[in-house]
Structure 1
Amino acid sequence: MSVLFSLLMIVVGVVIVLVLITLHELGHFLFAKWSKAYVFEFSIGFGPRLFTIKTKETWYSVRILPLGGFVSIASDFSPPPNGREEEFATIPDERKIDYAVKWKKALFILAGPIVNLFIAFILIMSVFLSNGYKPNDMNSNGQIFAKDSVALKIIQELEPNLESGAQNIVLTGIQIKWNEDLKEEKDFTSTKYSIMVQEVSDYLSETNKFIKTEPDFLKGISLRFKFQNIDKYTQKVNGEIKDTGLKEVNQDILENWKNQKVMRIGIQPPHKYFKNNWSAFGYSFVETWNQAISLIKGLGLFFTGHFNAISGPLGMFNTSGATISVKTNYALYIAGISANLFMLNMLPFPPLDGFKFWEALIEWITKKEMNTKLKTIVYIVGAIFLLGLMIIVTIKDIII
């Protein structure tokens, strides 16, 4: 099942990336059409064509490698597609990208990344406005379980006088430090002095002794507690304890020990709610930018030795599997990919859109075109570097 699920996540991830790339290229395409440029081809993917829909002017293609896409526009600085040489000879200069006014050329370059940024913003804003809070905004310490969990049964046995529905409880239990502790049967509930139930306020007062803050820092801070269901995970266990069995709270032997669940109970901070819809709307801009700039931070960490800071397609697909069960989290995940695509394309590195934008801007300021041969060399070197980086990151995703 895990193999099938992994394959499904790869398919889902590829579809997501293809949709975002298609919308990115659609931004370039629509602006080119609006500016009356002559568009040879609108293609999703690279390599040999899988199929093509041909119209009088533009061909719409899907190619075999789903690693990107492109919009081919008539230009004197690049050859026309194979078989369209005679057609190119009839295209007037005003419909070639080379002769477009500089601001139109710049907007054509920016149109694709702007579409990705807009998609990210719309998704983030939709989640914030529908939920009223940002999911997973705070980390949790420990875990919280339903009322029928083993942890709560332990509490009820040790503290039978607790009121039903009591929530301000912390449970600590036996800590197994050495493998030798597992070589004999352990009655985990009979050693009651090793299991302690205490009020949250007392627990916090103890743990706060390890926190050094300003004297007034904790004033005005209050905590609210609740129990909620969370996903439960199993883990393979090797040891002699399997021969004797584990005892539950009521002292019954758990014969089918492999299928039992080991649980913990803890404290979880609440969601940070927005005051109103305007607050959620405003923070959507902040979060969109945070998602976009995270790529720059990740690249900085990657090139300083923190190789897990960025992920390639495989790492992205694994993350996809971890978030797909929660719709809002998955929407934010897609928004993050789209925001990262915006920032990636805006990097001033050939042959990305960011480099093309600065190239057009410098040519407009200096009134000089970049040497064609030099431009070709720069683009080839840049493409090789980006391909090499992608290969390295993919290998990292496999072995780390």
Structure 2
Amino acid sequence: MTVIWTIAVFALLIVIHELGHFWAAKRSGVLVHEFALGFGPRLAFVRRGETEYSLRLLPLGGFVRMAGMQPDEEGLEDVPPQRRFLGRPLGDRVKIIAAGPLMNVALAIALFALVFAVIGVPVARPVVGEVVPGYPAADAGLQPGDRIVAIDGRPVDSWDQVVAAIQGAAGRPVELTIQRQGRELAVQVTPRPDPRRPGTGVVGIRPLVETVRTGVVEAVSRGAQATWQVAAGFVTALVHMLTGRGGFDVIGPVGIGQQIGEAAQVGLSQVVLLAAILSANLALVNLLPVPALDGGRLVFLAVEAVRGRPVDPEQENLIHFVGFALLMLLAIVITYRDLLRLNAS
């Protein structure tokens, strides 16, 4: 199942990204020769109208091959100038290149919204769902359904606050103020040291978990907020890595596949949430000013806007080719690291 989920998530992210380029090119009147999923040798293809849709061997991405992107393209003389990529106005070319990452941003928001509105998000309330026999909570008389409203006189309104207070009180009595059947009670319990986490306490209770769903408008709003938080985290991690404050902790397709498999074991909502995070990250990676990525192509378009004339197409294509080769080499290195980590675990 891990392989199936991984292929499904990867295909969704890649197809949506390339559809952005494809639709923008079509709307701008650019002739699209091929819409490809994957790189390398072609496994299968079908032609619809003037475009060929193909599936290729290496599922590491995809591409949209438009007329006029290569100055020495065979048969280019048969394509009207206005239908060539380089023959379109600068604004159209910016839209075509930027449409891929923007579609991934839109997909991230939509997937987050889907979880919030339809699938629902598991929320742990500050309510006891289970009491583990033989632990301090059971000895103190705590029962399922008890709502914890305060710890040592400090109000709590989330399960995270309950966990933090208990973990920080190993070996020290704490007073839990609880609500039970309309009555408010005070219960004293002494967290015992947790052998799995030295220095922290545990009392042997688990939360009551509820699935919470929101309305569509709120779901979209929260989806946009979640996407923004992912973007902020990506930028922070990138800055830390570039300034030496963080390590090169990057995973590739193998590592991502492992994460997808672990998410699938938890449930559909976790797979969709992970797909949303990956889609947002894919958009940001593609916007990096690196040759062969969308961000690198946008840099060349920005230079054209400043200079008033484009960079020599042959020089630009050579730079993108070198960038693509280096990215493939980096992908191989990251995949090797993933395999080593997977083997070690």
Normalized against structure 1, the TM-score is what? Answer: 0.64
Please report how far the alpha carbon of residue 78 of structure 1 lies from its aligned counterpart in structure 2 after TM superposition. Answer: 3.7
Shift of residue 72, structure 1, vs aligned partner: 0.9
1:69 aligns with 2:62: yes
* Larger strand share, 1 or 2: 2
2:93 paired residue number: 105
Partner of 2:288: 347
TM-aligned CA deviation for residue 380 of structure 1: 2.7
2:197 maps to none
For the pair 1:114 / 2:132, whether they are aligned, the reply is: no
Query: Does residue 310 of the first structure (1) align with residue 211 of the second (2)?
Result: no
Tell me how far apart the structure 2 counterparts of residues 224 and 393 of structure 1 sit (CA, whole Å).
Answer: 52
**What's 1:235 paired with?**
none
Q: Is the 8 A contact 1:299 1:310 kept in 2?
A: no
Give the 3 Å change call, closer, same or farther, for CA 201–379 of structure 1 in structure 2. Answer: same
Q: Distance in 1 between matches of 2:166 and 2:110?
A: 43
CA contact (8 A) 1:127 1:328 kept: yes
Note if contact 2:137-2:204 (Cα within 8 Å) is conserved in structure 1: no
Q: Indicate conservation of the 8 Å contact 2:20/2:103, yes or no.
A: yes
Q: Provide the C-alpha distance between the structure 1 equivalents of 2:254 and 2:124, rounded to a whole number of angstroms.
A: 25
Aligned CA distance change for structure 1 residues 109 and 90 (closer, same or farther; 3 Å): same
The match for 1:92 among 39, 64, 80 is 80
2:40 and 2:285 map into 1 onto residues whose CA distance is 22
* Correspondence for 1:363: 304
> Does the alignment pair 1:23 with 2:16?
yes
In the aligned structure 1, how far is the partner of 2:255 from the partner of 2:137?
43
Aligned AA for 1:27? G
SS of residue matched to 1:314: helix
| 1:282 counterpart = 2:282 | no
Quote the offset at 1:398 in angstroms.
Answer: 2.3
How far apart in 2 are the matches of 1:223 and 1:14? 48
- Cα distance between partner residues in 2 of 1:208 and 1:329: 32
Give the alignment of 1:124-139 within 5 angstroms.
124-130=112-118, 135=122
Q: Distance in 2 between matches of 1:31 and 1:354?
A: 16
Q: 1:355 to 1:130 in 2, by over 3 A?
A: same
1:316-355 aligned at under 5 Å gives the runs 316-324=256-264, 325-355=266-296
Unaligned runs of 5+ in 1: 1-7, 170-198, 211-221, 226-262
Aligned counterpart in structure 1 of residue 204 of structure 2, from 245, 265, 274 = 265
Structure 1 residue 206: deviation in Å?
10
- Given candidates 19, 36, 50, the residue that maps to 1:43 is 36
- Do residues 152 (structure 1) and 133 (structure 2) align? yes
- RMSD value over aligned CA atoms? 3.9
Is the Cα contact below 8 Å between 1:347 and 1:354 reproduced in 2?
yes
Does the 8 Å CA contact 1:299/1:309 hold for their aligned counterparts?
no
Decide whether the 8 Å contact of 2:135 with 2:204 is kept in 1: no
Greater Cα shift, 367-376 or 311-320: 367-376
Query: How big is each residue's C-alpha offset from its partner over 1:114-160, in whole Å with a ceiling of 9 and x where there is no partner?
Result: 1111010011122223477x65799x9xxx8745xxx325669856x
Cα–Cα, structure 1 residues 276 and 13, in superposed 2: closer, same or farther, change >3 Å?
closer
**1:4 — aligned with what?**
none
Quickly say closer, same or farther: Cα 1:370–1:394, change in 2 above 3 A. Answer: same
CA contact (8 A) 1:311 1:394 kept: yes
CA-CA distance at 1:113 after TM superposition:
1.0
- Letter of the aligned partner of 1:318 in structure 2? Q
Deviations along 1:248-280, one digit per CA (max 9) or x if unpaired, are xxxxxxxxxxxxxxx982465988989987655
| Distance in 2 of aligned mates of 1:388 and 1:136 | 42
SS in 1 for 2:133: helix
Q: Deviations over 1:12-70 (max 9, x none)?
A: 21221122101111111112112111111111111111112124421111111111111
Structure 2 regions of 5+ residues with no counterpart?
Answer: 154-161, 172-176, 181-201
Q: Find the aligned partners of 1:302 and 1:383 in 2 and give their Cα distance.
A: 22
Q: Cα distance 1:165–1:107, how it changes in 2: closer, same or farther (>3 A)?
A: closer
Greater relative contact order (CA < 8 Å, ≥ 6 in sequence):
1
